């Protein structure tokens, strides 16, 4: 009987984690890749796949529900019509930038989905945006992880030197305090 290990599912877990606000999932997988537990290229591919699938699903669901919300609340439709018009005119940069809006992606997609942006345009621009996002965030997290590991390795040396220096300073302070105390005792003993 063979048991499946977590590493056999790791890339699927990255894809699943990046379905929704996936920066943390991608960053953790990049750290695992830096440690040699995963391959960074496959991490980026899995993150791209998860992000793209999540964005497409979110856009389509919000488009379907958005029209129903506006039918039910025409005042909301009237108040947001200007913003939706601006988004429709600047669709390509709006779609691309939205992929990088950590924590605000879903509200931004709700606004995009309720605008006049066509789904084929969203699909094409989001494909490029997800590829750029996965590559940039994954590579930066991987590189940053290497930098942090190097700093931690250096910190061990710095900590050792720092502890030695602190020990010397504390020792010197104790010697000075003892010398002052003895000097005070000596002065009071010879004055009286």
pLDDT tens per residue, range 103-147: 778 778 887 888 878 899 999 999 999 999 999 999 998 988 877
Which class for 108: exposed (0-12), middle (13-18), buried (19 or more C-beta within 10 A)? Answer: middle
Query: Cβ contacts of residue 119 below 8 Å, gap of 6+?
Result: 59, 60, 63
Contact 129, 140 (CB under 8 A): no
pLDDT for 161 beyond 80:
no
> How does DSSP classify residue 102?
T
Least confident of 2-6, 63-67, 124-128, 131-135: 2-6
Q: How confident is the model at residue 52 (pLDDT cuts 50, 70, 90)?
A: very high
Strand locations in 102-184 (E): none
């Amino acid at each position: 009987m063979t048991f499946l290990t977590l590493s056999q599912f790791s890339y699927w877990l990255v894809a699943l984690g990046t379905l929704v606000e996936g920066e943390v999932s991608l960053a953790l997988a990049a750290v695992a890749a830096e440690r040699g537990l995963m391959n960074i290229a496959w991490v980026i591919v899995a993150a791209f796949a998860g992000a793209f699938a999540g964005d497409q699903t979110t856009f389509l669901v919000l488009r379907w529900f958005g029209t129903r919300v506006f039918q039910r609340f025409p005042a909301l439709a009237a108040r947001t019509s200007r913003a939706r018009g601006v988004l429709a005119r600047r669709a390509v940069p709006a779609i691309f930038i939205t992929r990088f809006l950590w924590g605000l992606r879903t509200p931004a997609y709700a606004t995009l989905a309720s605008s006049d942006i066509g789904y084929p345009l969203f699909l094409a621009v989001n494909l490029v945006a997800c590829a750029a996002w996965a590559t940039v965030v994954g590579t930066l997290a991987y590189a940053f992880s290497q930098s942090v590991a190097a700093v931690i390795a250096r910190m061990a040396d710095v900590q050792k030197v720092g502890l030695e220096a602190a020990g010397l300073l504390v020792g010197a302070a104790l010697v000075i305090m003892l010398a002052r105390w003895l000097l005070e005792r000596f002065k009071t003993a010879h004055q009286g």
